[in-house]
Amino acid sequence: MKARVFITLKSGVLDPQGKAIHHALEGLGFSGVNDVRAGKLIELDLADGTADSEIEDMCRKLLANTVIENFRIERLENA
């Protein structure tokens, strides 16, 4: 089975990278963008039956820095 982990900066945490992307979009003439936040997507290929709690543990112990980041897990059951 596969799972995707989406890692995003917590709201309120300044995202200089998102800001730069925002400016670049405006520079290209896209005027309707209110805000940009950049994050990470990590794809995991896991042994069948891996428990949600174990994936959460992976996120807490390594994949996300919970001081500044949130994570969301999406399981792809048929992948």
Partner 1 sequence: MKSAVIVFPGSNCDRDLAVALELITGRKPAMVWHKETELPEGTEFIGVPGGFSYGDYLRSGAMAARSPVMRAVKDAADRGVPVIGICNGFQVLTEAGMLPGALMRNAGLSFICRPVPLRVENSQSLFTAQYDAGEEISFPVAHHDGNYQADETTLDRLEGEGRVAFRYLDQCNGSARSIAGILNDSGNVLGLMPHPERVVEPAHGGMDGRRLFEGLLETVA
Residues forming contacts to partner 1 in the complex (CB under 8 A) are 13-14, 16-17, 20, 61-63, 65, 67-68
In the complex with partner 1, the residue whose CB is nearer, 2 or 10, is: 10
Q: How far is the CB of 68 from partner 1 (least distance, A)?
A: 5
In the complex with partner 1, the residue whose CB is nearer, 16 or 32, is: 16
Under a CB-based contact definition with an 8 Å cutoff, are residues 71 and 64 in contact?
yes
CA separation for the pair 12, 33 (Å, rounded): 18
In the complex with partner 1, the residue whose CB is nearer, 2 or 23, is: 23
How many other β-carbons are positioned within 10 Å of the β-carbon of residue 6? 14
CA separation for the pair 7, 17 (Å, rounded): 14
Q: How far is the CB of 3 from partner 1 (least distance, A)?
A: 17
